[in-house]
Amino acid sequence: MTPSVKETHFQFPGQTGFYRGKVRDVYFFEDKLLMVATDRISAFDVILPRAIPGKGQILNQIAARFLQMTSDIVPNWLEACPDPAVSVGKKCEALAVEMVVRGYLAGHAWREYRDGKRSLCGVSLPEGLRENDRLPAPIITPTTKAHEGHDLDISREEILAQGIVKPHIYKQMEDFTYALFEAGSEYAQSKNLILVDTKYEFGLHGGKVCLIDEVHTPDSSRYFYKEGYHERQEKGETQKQLSKEFVRQWLIENGFQGKDGQKVPEMTDEIVLHISQRYQELYEKVTGEAFLPASSESQNPLIRIEQNILSYFS
């Protein structure tokens, strides 16, 4: 396996701050920010103990591709990628809501529905749906953006009542979310995939709504293979998918869902390699290109990343 990057500790000229998220290390400058997509992996809002080689590069390259592809739909923060695992862009004021959009009943939404709920984030769901069924129309199920712990489901009405986002801003976020999901779905279809659900994060730059963070990556999205989808649904079989859901399922099968008192199962070399290979598979399926690791087994990726960033700023 190639070396992984679990965390960074850089100090750059002009740096004004630093924040470590679940996956990204963020360096702040006067009017810009720089995100290093590390190889950390999280599930159930818990950072798992081992990093996944190549994961950061994969997330960063997919996100950059889709940010560039959707810039005609909504302006975004990205300005440059000085390294395969690094993005630099405009510093935006993040809006404290994640816009989760769902075209199919899967993952968290299915687990809530299976347990008897027929309303999710204030959106009513019809009776008689099965896991992974297509919804009558895409729905938005927002969550609050938590700095620590679990993000929480919230309704449109609660967001506006609590003043988390102003009504006219939220309307723009909704419109952008549906437009982005439609564009992402059309692109997925062209690759013989189905974009099942995803999330978008927005911020304000100069008073205008901007798309921030990642877009249509395996960490933020769920994809099914289009070929055989209907046959598998008719037979009640598990859908073949490309997403981080397989990591969650492995954790669930081994008694972990991020709840108090639960312990993350051992991540053996075999498990880490398997996860890395699945991420590479998604990259190649989504982009149609072969994945080329930025570092060889003998290289230190931290040195490469720091040198590329310093070259960019100089």
Task: Report which DSSP code applies to 73.
Answer: T
Rg (CA), the chain: 19
Does the pTM of the predicted model rise above 0.85?
A: yes
pLDDT in tens, 58-77: 999 999 999 999 999 999 99
- Torsion angle, CA of 249/252/258/264, rounded to 10 degrees? -100
pLDDT, residue 202, reads 98
CA-based nearest residue to 35, from 84, 96, 98, 99: 84
Per-residue model confidence as pLDDT tens for the chain (314 residues): 788 999 999 999 999 999 999 999 999 999 999 999 999 999 988 999 999 999 999 999 999 999 999 999 999 999 999 999 999 999 999 999 999 999 999 989 999 999 999 999 999 999 999 999 999 999 999 999 765 555 789 999 999 999 999 999 999 999 999 999 999 999 999 999 999 999 999 999 999 999 998 999 888 999 999 999 999 999 999 999 887 888 988 999 999 999 999 999 999 999 999 999 989 988 999 999 999 999 777 788 999 999 999 999 98
Report strand pairing: 86-90 vs 78-83. Answer: antiparallel
pLDDT, residue 191, reads 95
Q: Which CATH number fits domain 94-243: 3.10.20.30, 3.30.470.20, 3.40.50.920, 3.40.50.1010?
A: 3.30.470.20
255 and 265 in contact (C-beta within 8 Å)?
Answer: yes
Task: Spell out the domain ranges in the chain.
Answer: 94-243
